[in-house]
Structure 1
Amino acid sequence: MLLAADVGNTNVVFALFEPDGKGGFDTRARWRIATDPRRTGDEYAVWLLQLLGIEGVSRDEITQIIYASVVPRADHNLTVLAQKYFGITPLKAGEGKAAWQFEIDVDQPSSLGADRALNILAAHKKYGGDLIVIDFGTATKFETVDYNGTYKGGSIAPGINLSLDALVGKTAKLPRIAIRAPDSKSVIGRNTEDQMLIGVFWGYVAMMEGIVERMKSEIGRPAKVVATGGLAILFNDATDIFDEVDADLTIEGLAILAQQSA
Structure 2
Amino acid sequence: MLLAIDAGNTNIVFALIDDCDTIRTRWRITTDPRRTADEYAVWLSQLLALEGFSRSDVSHVVIGTVVPRALHNLQVLARKYFDSEPVIAGVGGWGFSLDVDEPQSLGADRALNMIAAHANHAGDLIIIDFGTATTFDLIDYHGAYKGGIIAPGINLSLDALVSAAAKLPRIAIEAPADPSVVGRNTVDQMHIGIYWGYIGMIEGLVARMKAEAGRPVKVIATGGLAILFEKHTDVFDTIEQDLTIQGLAMWWKKFR
Displacement of 1:60 in angstroms is 2.0
**Structure 1: where are the runs of 5+ without partners?**
none
Give per-residue Cα distances to partners, 1:117-168, cap 9 Å, x unaligned.
0111111011121000000011000000000110000000000111111111
Question: Which amino acid in 2 is paired with 1:175?
Answer: P
Superposition RMSD in Å: 0.8
Taking the aligned partners of 2:39 and 2:122, their CA distance within structure 1 comes to 40
- The answer to whether structure 1 residue 235 and structure 2 residue 232 are counterparts is no
Taking the aligned partners of 1:135 and 1:129, their CA distance within structure 2 comes to 19
Match in the other structure for 2:255: 261
Match in the other structure for 1:4: 4
| 1:37-56 superposed matches below 5 A | 37-56=33-52
Question: Which amino acid in 2 is paired with 1:67?
Answer: I
**Structure 2: where are the runs of 5+ without partners?**
none
Match in the other structure for 1:223: 217
| 1:73-152 superposed matches below 5 A | 73-96=69-92, 99-152=93-146
| The one of 184, 191, 213 aligned to 2:207 | 213
Displacement of 1:259 in angstroms is 1.4
Displacement of 1:58 in angstroms is 2.3
Displacement of 1:77 in angstroms is 0.2
Question: Which amino acid in 2 is paired with 1:182?
Answer: P
Report the secondary structure of 2:22's partner residue.
strand
Give per-residue Cα distances to partners, 1:72-94, cap 9 Å, x unaligned.
11100001000011111100010
Runs of 4+ that moved beyond 6 A = none
| The one of 148, 153, 163 aligned to 2:157 | 163
Taking the aligned partners of 1:229 and 1:58, their CA distance within structure 2 comes to 28
| The one of 225, 234, 238 aligned to 1:244 | 238
Taking the aligned partners of 2:83 and 2:43, their CA distance within structure 1 comes to 18
Aligned residues: 256
- The answer to whether structure 1 residue 173 and structure 2 residue 167 are counterparts is yes
Taking the aligned partners of 1:55 and 1:237, their CA distance within structure 2 comes to 32
Question: Which amino acid in 2 is paired with 1:41?
Answer: A
Taking the aligned partners of 1:184 and 1:249, their CA distance within structure 2 comes to 33
Taking the aligned partners of 1:58 and 1:173, their CA distance within structure 2 comes to 50
Question: Which amino acid in 1 is paired with 2:139?
Answer: V
Displacement of 1:256 in angstroms is 1.0
Taking the aligned partners of 2:27 and 2:55, their CA distance within structure 1 comes to 16
Question: Which amino acid in 2 is paired with 1:34?
Answer: T
Match in the other structure for 1:13: 13
Give per-residue Cα distances to partners, 1:44-99, cap 9 Å, x unaligned.
00101111112222222211100111111110000100001111110001013xx3
TM-score (norm 1): 0.96
